[in-house]
Amino acid sequence: MRAWQVPAFGSKPILSEIAEPIPAKGELVLRVEAVGLNFADMLAIEGKYQVRQTPPFVPGMEVSGVVERLGPETAGPAPGTAVLATCAAGALAERIRLPASRVSPVPAEMGFAEAAGFPIAYGTSHLALTHKARLQPGETLFVTGAAGGVGLTAVEIGKRLGARVLASARGDARLAVAREAGADVLIDSDAPDLKDRLRAEGGVDVVYDAVGGPAFDAAMRACRPDGRLLAIGFASGEVPQIPANILLVKNLTVSGFWYGGYETHAPDLVSASMAELLRWRAEGLIRPHVSHVLPFDAFPEGLALLRERKATGKVVIRVGQEP
């Protein structure tokens, strides 16, 4: 089968022919239809992600497709079922082997492209805002990188949870996407004096930061007492250094959040979160945004869209031919 492989950390992925997977007990083989791309894929290729694969490896962490084959003594889901899933790696191939317990049925109204870009971004924002930050109705949520994959879902879920959402992104076009997702206040990330702007809006109860850099510090200084800050990622390349004296004086809480860690040590929590998200999607309460769907051969171009911040929402790679 065809698969993209990373021959060595930092090298360009190569489209290769590799052996098809064989499922063991409790596993299934999925015929891959689509793969969602994430900033974490770039880190994994460079060998900088939290979990390092052993080269050569197949990248890709979220996937949708059709169950093709079950391993021995595996009850289901039945072959022919459309499912979505996350994985540590391996999605950018025509087939992938997965634990049967890790897949979720795709709602009838959701296409494969949308399903492939759903679990990581929505799962991250839902668990971070509900479980970690315990965002409450009427609170003010500030989201950095609000037009990106996870940021846009944070805007949408924040509104769904009853918060007032302040959204930061670069340029009018990206801010318009955040507005469409429900943002109440739009802030250009290139504008000066972010701290003063946030304070002028009455301050912030919860910060959802996937960018890092100076924006984290400005948001922290604009937090209300008992504010909660979520460190989701560092797309800017700059990891914030946190002055503990400010945390003390304002009784602030800073929490790191890595979705993959919860999949390992709290799988039941992840399953319940995903079930609620898929229910919201089935009821039309959330609307996933996919800005680009590219063919399998164009995986490098998809990474470039993320690297150069030319995409909004999700970039998806089409592997199969079904809609």
Task: Let me know whether 82 and 139 are in one domain.
Answer: no
Domain that holds residue 208: 121-259
pTM: 0.93
Task: Let me know whether 143 and 33 are in one domain.
Answer: no
Residue from 297, 319, 307, 205 nearest 251 by CA: 205
Q: Percentage of residues in the chain with pLDDT exceeding 70?
A: 99
Whether 217 is covered by a domain: the verdict is yes
Helix (H) or strand (E) holding 46: helix 39-46
CA geometry: angle 50, 36, 102, nearest 5 deg: 70
- pLDDT band with cut points at 50, 70 and 90 for residue 89: very high
Mean pLDDT of 124-149: 97
Task: Let me know whether 210 and 198 are in one domain.
Answer: yes
**Looking at the predicted structure, is the pLDDT value of residue 93 above 60?**
yes
Domain endpoint, select from 243, 259, 275: 259
Q: What is the CATH number of the domain that holds 250?
A: 3.40.50.720
Q: What is the pLDDT of residue 237?
A: 82
Q: What is the pLDDT of residue 313?
A: 94
Task: Let me know whether 155 and 101 are in one domain.
Answer: no
Residue 251 CB neighbour total at 10 angstroms = 11
Q: What is the pLDDT of residue 108?
A: 86
Task: Let me know whether 171 and 239 are in one domain.
Answer: yes
Task: Let me know whether 100 and 137 are in one domain.
Answer: no
What gap in Å lies between CA 124 and CA 257, rounded to an integer?
8
Please tell me whether residue 27 adopts helix, strand or coil conformation.
strand
Contact 31, 63 (CB under 8 A): no
- Tens of pLDDT along 302-312? 999 999 989 99
Q: What is the CATH number of the domain that holds 8?
A: 3.90.180.10
Task: Let me know whether 86 and 108 are in one domain.
Answer: yes
Please tell me whether residue 225 adopts helix, strand or coil conformation.
strand
What gap in Å lies between CA 81 and CA 99, rounded to an integer?
15
Whether 282 is covered by a domain: the verdict is no
Residue from 108, 10, 94 nearest 53 by CA: 10
Whole-number average pLDDT of the chain = 95
- pLDDT band with cut points at 50, 70 and 90 for residue 322: low
Work out how many domains the chain is built from and give that number. Answer: 2
Whether 134 is covered by a domain: the verdict is yes
Mean pLDDT of 111-119: 96
**Looking at the predicted structure, is the pLDDT value of residue 257 above 80?**
yes
**Looking at the predicted structure, is the pLDDT value of residue 323 above 50?**
no
Whether 105 is covered by a domain: the verdict is yes
**Looking at the predicted structure, is the pLDDT value of residue 266 above 50?**
yes
What stretches of the chain adopt beta strand conformation (E)? 2-5, 14-17, 27-36, 62-70, 82-86, 95-99, 103-105, 140-143, 164-169, 185-188, 204-209, 223-231, 253-256, 290-295, 314-318
